Each structure stands twice: as C-alpha cells, then as structure tokens.
Amino acid sequence: MRSQSIEKPRIKKAVIPAAGFGTRLFPTTKVVKKELFPILDKDGRVKPVIQLIVEEAVSGGIEEIGIVTQPDSQDIFIELFQKPPSSGLYKKLSQDKREYSDYLLSLGEKITFLTQEEQLGYGHGVFCAQEWVGNQAFLLMLGDHIYSSTIDKSCAKQVLELFDQVENSVIGLNTLPGNIIKKAGCITGKWQELNSILNITQIYEKPTLEYARQHLRVEGMAEDEFLCIFGLYALTPKIFEYLEENINNNFQENGEFQLTSCLDKLRADEGMIGYVVDGKTFDTGMPDIYRQTMIDFLG
C-alpha cells in the first residue's frame, strides 16, 4: 500500500473576544467600545483598535475571523466592517478614502460575528466561539491588544508558522519586569532554543513577585524578569473541553470563567510550546498604557 503524504494543519480561523465592558476606561466606554478606540497607524490612518487586530490576523494568513461581541453592540461592529458609509458621508470622502471604504468591506467579508449573551469572563467569551471554530485549531487574539513586529514577519505569522512546525499549541511570549507581572499571565519552562522557543511547564495568572521568584524563573533570564503571555495563542480545539468543564461545574476564579487555568490543563494533557515573539504588544484596555501606545506604536 502506497503511503500518502499528509499536509500539516494550517490554522485558518481566528477568534477575537470583544464583549467586555471596558470598565477600566469608563466613562468613555459608556458610549464607545474600547475595541473602537482610535490608534494612529504607521500608514497615517486613524484606525479603531479592532481593525488593527483584524489586519494582524489577515497578515498571518488567517482567512476567517470570529469576533465575539455583546448582543447590543454587534451592530456597531457590523457598521464598521460590513456596511458602506451613508450617502452623505460618502460624498464628503476623497477618492482615496472611498477606495479605503471598499477595503474595509473586503475585511468584513472575512468576519463572522458571534454573541456572548452574558459577560461571564474571558474564558466564557472564548467558549462562545466553539461551534463556529469546530474541530480545528485556531488563533486566539485579545480584543484590546495590538501588535507591532520588529522583523519582516508579523507577530501573528510568527506564531502561526511555529504552530505549523510543531503541530502543537503555541503561546506567544514577551519579557516583563517583576514589578508589573501581577497584571499578566506568566509561564515557566525549559528552553528548546535559548531566548526563543521553550517547552512550557506551568502557566500562572497574575502571580505575586514572591511566587514568580520561587516558581516561574526561567534559566538564563535576568533577575526579576519573567516570560509573560504576549496575547497571541495558536490552540488546538481541546481547549474547549476544559472551558466547557469549568462552565458546567460553575468553576469560577475571581467571579469569572477564566482561560489561564484551562490553558494549563491543555499544556498538561497535550504539551505546549512558548515562543518569544519578535515584536511588541500594547494593551489598549488600560488608561496609562493606552496613552503610551499612542506615542510608542508608531515607534
């Protein structure tokens, strides 16, 4: 019997949870979704955060994007990506901006809107994409993080290409100082390639500095520097099993269904690779970092 070559899996779908309330940016988020906050991009255009995330996904080769929204805010995202401007606005646009409007609609053709009926946490938001994702690996992106690569490949493409190589879940990583890791998900593990690729042995959400010093040190890292989650995940669909288990058992952490503990279960079951991304991530959901992003993103 002739052997058949098997094509490596290639991730085609990305999930972007965008159903949070944005309480840290209140009162502006009372009227403007945090995913629609403006960012001046390198091409000189002022874009909403969600557009930059969608463009990042497309840059990695993603063909379909599922955006998880609150039921009463879905129309806002549809207006951005899937409806042309009103006739009055269209008449005011230059030819360049009219062509750009068509580009936005072309992005919209790749987008499916999914609903999170109740805001029960980030893990719950991810689980709301289960049916749409199906039994395939997917790229998970944070709805309030934007990314800037320091090499020719986009950050998303770096993570997706490594997933194709290892055929295992991959979490993008960056290095953070100990004084701010209490706001981040952190990992530890053993290097496969120094300062680049490692086998993850633990994932821990928002550790204290004392805990990190005892349990999350990685060989070769400077003192009080740790590897933290970058905000890009290439995941196998088994993650949904752990999310569903937590939801069915009403296992909440800090009053919500979280993702990090499910990631650690996935790691223990299937193994997981960490990749230090050549790039920067910007958390636009925090006031001080959003302000700094406006300065640094053009970098």
Full set of structural domains in the chain with CATH = 13-296 (3.90.550.10)
Q: Whole-angstrom Cα distance, residue 38 to residue 28?
A: 12
* Residue bearing the bigger pLDDT, 293 or 268: 268
Question: Pick from 274, 137, 277: which is nearest to 201 by CA?
Answer: 274
Q: Which run of H or E residues covers position 210?
A: helix 209-215
Element (H, E) at 122: helix 122-127
Given pLDDT bands bounded at 50, 70 and 90, which one contains residue 8? low
Tell me the average pLDDT of the chain: 92
More confident residue, 6 or 8: 8
pLDDT on residue 1: 33
pTM of the model as a whole: 0.92
CB atoms within 10 A of CB 10: 13
- pLDDT band, residue 75 (cuts 50/70/90): very high
pLDDT above 60 for 255: yes
Q: Is the pLDDT of residue 92 over 70?
A: yes
- In this prediction, residues 51-70 reach a mean pLDDT of 97
What letter would DSSP give residue 295? H
Q: For residue 31, count CB atoms less than 10 angstroms from its CB and return exposed for 0-12, middle for 13-18, buried for 19 or more.
A: exposed
Question: Could you tell me if 53 and 44 are in contact, meaning their C-beta atoms sit under 8 angstroms apart?
Answer: no
The confidence band for 5, taking pLDDT boundaries of 50, 70 and 90, is very low
pLDDT at residue 299 in the model: 63
Output the six-digit token pair for 186. 């952190």
* pLDDT higher than 80, residue 2: no
Q: Regarding beta strands 138-141 and 225-235, do their DSSP bridges make them parallel or antiparallel, or are they unpaired?
A: antiparallel
At 9 the pLDDT is 54
Task: Quick: pLDDT tens for 230-246.
Answer: 999 999 999 999 999 99
Q: Interior CA angle at 106 toward 86 and 82, to 5°?
A: 40
